[in-house]
Chains A and B, each alone.
Chain A
């Protein structure tokens, strides 16, 4: 099956991700807890967006919906014009493999695989041969400044280094969208700064659209736009243009 990549689609307008009237609630025992209700907003192509808000405000839920790892109760999520809520499970998996890169708070690397193998992992879903996969994984690791750590296991790397491996893994398939959930939440200030600078570079030099959830104002300050999702009034978004 060929998966259409977002970047292959005719770039008509500036909007890459469009959420319209999206609602999501969770069951907690017998109780239904609404997290997002009727949320509508757009994310532009090549944007670096920081999503802020208190715990439980639904920012991670929103990130998961945009990344296609969770589905809304209602509403549509169009990414590059395609409504991903309509994709069947297996096709959605292929869509993620082709279009989305993930950066998690706790890096989430496979502990038994080396840095290089971790980065290579998403490429095993492509038609690339072994040598090409290795070359691309090496290239991705050099982009995050870890060419000399390819054979190290995650446990042999510092937190900052692990997160950089995770970034290499996220960009190795050259996805259009990067989603990052508290990418600096577990890092010291210096490592956090390095990671954020890499993300800025990916956005600025490589045109990656980045959606980042964070609690940290210093981290958010690296984004081009900051939005705040407030508890209680889920549709209320505060937009703060940095540029």
Chain B
């Protein structure tokens, strides 16, 4: 290790308590910053994973979410007869005509009602979304009042478990199975037979239609043709894009709130680092004077103290990101403001977050160390030596 770097490192060890407190302050900020990014990334990942690129979802034009959307049976027939749609093993096109309805269900812990999304699915729904699998119990029988629940719902709501029944739309619905949708937004939903649910909710229309394409490149032609069709009032979106858009409102809020908090906290941490580094400069006046007398240029002194502040930030970052990584074990459930239904997701740590928080920490260290380092570098040699 170069001698000057080792000198900076050992000086950090000298003033253990002060430096530890400063690094802890930085670690806290890094933790908050990384946690916010992880929350946002978890939300996005969950919703983006909900959609598949080869799937296309049709909703009524200008409807942002399925619960606002209406597609009648005549329009549904036109959509399902399109040539781009892949034909399934049973000879039918892979089309799921779906109805999405919110019901209020009390949460297990707080007893407060929260919105649960009930999705009526067509027979081809599981073929359209191969990543969704029944993992416990069994699939509901078509034409029955049976339903299956998403994996993420376990334990969150009253009566939402295999074997119990839920009452909504004037009927009792028996829960017969649990499905795993690979950590996507579907995991927070309840699925039942589309036709049964349409009747029970006394509607004669679907909310959305999801189809699987034979080739993902067929999307543009399909979209252009159907959106121009005067009989249809629908909008076609890639399923992935559709769900990604659902994350925008909440994601925007998390980012703004989180980043505002991080910036405010970081001001505190920067001031803390500045005070620590000023103290370090003040207590090492003699050393600065000696280094300068020995022929070290001002720039070398500046760098030495900046390196020290950056090392401090690096320690803070290491601790902060370590604790933030523990957050990946935490599951969050919240209302998705766009779909208005409950959504469960995890904190997700990505390499980008690791890198961004590192840059954030180093910027804090640089800002905190800059003024003290300048002071050290500008000191007159005789004045610095006189202190000794």
Contact of A104 with B11 at beta-carbon distance under 8 Å, contacts A121-B3, A124-B2, A124-B3 already known: no
| Shortest CB distance B261–A (Å) | 37
Count of chain A residues with Cβ under 8 Å from any Cβ of B? Answer: 27
Question: Which residues of A are found within 8 Å of B11, using beta-carbon distances?
Answer: 112
Which of A69, A96, A122 is close to B382, meaning CB atoms less than 8 Å apart? A69
Kindly supply a per-residue 1/0 record for chain B positions 279-322, scoring 1 wherever the CB is within 8 Å of any chain A CB and 0 otherwise.
00000001101111111111100000000000000000000000
CB contacts (< 8 Å) of B287 on chain A: these are 108, 110-111
How far in angstroms is the closest Cβ of chain B from A35? 12
Contact with B along A99-136 (1 / 0, CB 8 A): 00010101010111100010011101100000000000
Q: Complex: how many Å from CA A89 to CA B385? A: 17
Given known A104-B388, A124-B2, A124-B3, contact A112–B10 (CB-CB < 8 A): yes
Point out the residues of chain A lying under 8 angstroms from B289, CB to CB.
Answer: 108
Q: Would A102 and B290 count as touching, CB distance under 8 A?
A: yes
| SS of A interface (majority) | helix
Please determine whether A97 and B382 come into contact, CB atoms closer than 8 angstroms: no
When C-beta atoms are compared, the residue in chain A nearest to B299 turns out to be A90
B288 to chain A, nearest CB (A): 11
Q: Tell me which residues from 1 to 39 in chain B have a Cβ below 8 Å from any Cβ of chain A.
A: 2-4, 6-7, 10-11, 13-14
Q: How many residues of B contact A (CB 8 A)?
A: 27
Number of A-B contacts (CB under 8 A): 74
Residue A213 at the B interface, CB < 8 A? no
Task: Scan residues 347-388 of chain B and give those whose CB is less than 8 A from a CB of chain A.
Answer: 380-382, 385, 388
CB–CB A70/B382 < 8 A:
yes
Contact A108–B290 (Cβ < 8 Å): yes
**Contact of B298 with A89 in the complex, beta carbons under 8 Å:** yes
Q: Is the CB of B294 within 8 A of A122?
A: yes
* Cα distance, A90 to B13, chains bound together (Å): 31
Residues on B with beta carbons closer than 8 Å to the beta carbon of A96: 293-295
Contact status A108-B286, CB under 8 Å? yes
> Which residue, of B293, B380, B382, B385, has the highest number of chain A Cβ atoms within 10 A?
B293
Residues in A with CB closer than 8 Å to B381 are 64, 69-70
Q: Which of B10, B14, B295, B388 is the one whose CB lies under 8 Å from A125?
A: B295
Q: Could you tell me if A113 and B295 are in contact, using CB atoms closer than 8 angstroms?
A: no
Select which of B10, B294, B299, B380 is within 8 A of A121 by beta carbon. B294
Is A93 engaged at the interface, CB distance under 8 Å to the other chain?
Answer: yes
List 20 extra interface pairs beyond A93-B298, A124-B3, CB under 8 A: A69-B292, A69-B293, A69-B381, A93-B297, A94-B295, A96-B295, A97-B294, A97-B295, A97-B296, A98-B295, A104-B290, A104-B388, A108-B286, A108-B289, A108-B290, A110-B7, A111-B14, A112-B11, A121-B291, A121-B294
A-B contact pairs, 22 of them (CB 8 A): A67-B293, A69-B292, A69-B381, A69-B382, A69-B385, A70-B380, A90-B298, A93-B292, A93-B296, A94-B297, A95-B295, A97-B295, A102-B294, A108-B286, A110-B7, A110-B287, A112-B7, A112-B13, A122-B295, A124-B2, A124-B4, A125-B295
Which residues of A come within 8 Å of B, CB atoms? 64, 67, 69-70, 89-90, 93-98, 102, 104, 106, 108, 110-113, 117, 120-122, 124-125, 169
